[in-house]
Amino acid sequence: MRQRQGFTLIELLVALALVIFMMVILSEAFSVGLESFRRLKAIGDMNARLRTAMIVIQSDLQADHFEGRKRLSDPDFWREGPPQQGFFRIYHGSPLVVEVDDSNGDGINATRTANHILHFTVKRRGNDRKDFFTARVPAGSPLLALGIPDARFQEPNSDIYTSQWAEIAYFLRPNGETAGSTTLYALYRRQRLAVPDSSALGNGTGTIAGQANQYLEVSYVPTANGLLINDPIDLTVPQRRFGMDPNQDGGVIANNGQYLRLQDEQAAGANPDLTSADLLLPDVISFEVTVLLSSGSEFVDLFHETVQVFSNSNPLFSAPNGPRMFDTWTSVQNGTYDYSTWEQSGTAKSIPLYRAGPNGPQIRIVALKITLRVWDAKTQQARQVSLIQDM
C-alpha cells in the first residue's frame, strides 16, 4: 500500500476556507464587542457628567439661602415679611412642552423646557477654606482690605477675595447644535460673590472704583460713581442681582417685564452672555425646575392649574402663557428702591405673582425637583435624571 506524503489540494483549500471563515467570525465579534464597549463608555461618560452636574446643583440647594437658618419650607416663612438677607427666585418663561401625553396610562407625561432659570443666594457655613467662595479681583482692590470677619483666608499680596455669600444662577444657552429637529443647549452656572456688609466699603456707600470687567466674579451694580458692591441685604432687591437691568424704566416693575428674565450680563469689554460662567453640562435637551407646594401633592410648574396666581394690571401677567416666577422679594427702602409696600396689591411695587400678606396667597415651597435631559451624539440617545431636594 502506498503511504500519503501530505494533504491534497482540495483538503488545503477546505482548511483555508474554514480558517478564513473563523477569522471573519472572530473579526465581526471583535468589531461588535468594540462598538459595544464604545457605546457603554459613552453612556458611562454621559452618566458621570449628569451625576457631577446634579452634585453641584444639590450642594447649592442644600446650603442656606437667607439669614440664620431660615428655609423656604418653614411654616412661618412669610410671618415677618420677606427675608432680610438673600433671595430665591424661579423663572418659567412658558408652560412645559408635553412631548408624550400619557394621560390615559399612568398619568405621567414626558415634558421638556429650555427657559427655566434657577437663581438664588448661597450662604456657606464653617471655618475651613473649603467653606468659602473665591473670586479674582484687581490687586489693591478695597475688597482685599476688608479683613476678618468680612473676608477670612485672605492671603497677603493675593488677588483672591473670599466670602461665604454668593449669588448663583443656573440657565441654558443654545450651543449651536441640534438632535434632529430639537435644539441643544448648554447648562451654565454663574457665581458672583457678595460681601457680608457693603457699608464697610466706600465710606459707607458700598461703592468702589474699578472697571466692570475687573469684577466679573463679584456681585455688583454699575453706577456713574463706580461699582456698587452687593451684600446679602442688597440682593433681596431684584434689580441688584445678576442679569437684572437696574435702569429699566427706573421702576420696580417695567411694563415689558424685562427685569424678570436673566438678561445677558453687560460688562465693559466682556462677552455679554457667558463671561465668567461655568459650563456645567453640554448638549442639554431640557432643564426643568418644578415645585412641591405646601398645599399640593405633586411637583408642578408655575403654570399648573393648582398654583394660585396673583395678577395685576401689568400686561406681562395678564397673558395666560406669559412668563411667571416665584421670588422671595424684599421690603428694602432706601434712596434708590422702595419696596416697603411689598404686601399691597394694585400698586406697581406689589409682588407680581406669588406673595404673602393680607391681599395675596401664601406660597410656600416644600421641595424642588430638578430634571435634566441630555443628548449623546455618539450613541444617538437621550438620558434623563431627576433630583428631588427638600427646601
Closest CA to 171 of 96, 241, 258, 92: 92
Q: Which segments of the chain have a pLDDT < 50?
A: 102-106, 246, 248-260, 264-273, 311-318, 345-360
Q: pTM for the complete prediction?
A: 0.83
The span from the CA of 270 to the CA of 267, in Å, is 5
pLDDT given for residue 186 in this prediction: 92
C-alpha angle 59/65/70, rounded to 5°? 120
Q: What is the pLDDT of residues 315-353, one digit of tens each?
A: 444 456 667 778 887 888 877 777 776 655 444 443 444
What CA dihedral angle connects 77, 83, 88 and 94, to 10 degrees? 80
> pLDDT at position 148, please?
66
- pLDDT confidence of residue 255: 37
Q: What is the pLDDT of residue 2?
A: 63
Query: Which residues have C-beta within 8 Å of that of residue 74, sequence separation ≥ 6?
Result: 364
Q: How far apart are CA 273 and CA 222, in angstroms?
A: 17
Tens digits of residue pLDDT in 108-124: 567 889 989 999 999 99
pLDDT for position 257: 42
- Report the candidate in 314, 217, 300 with the shortest Cα–Cα distance to residue 257: 314
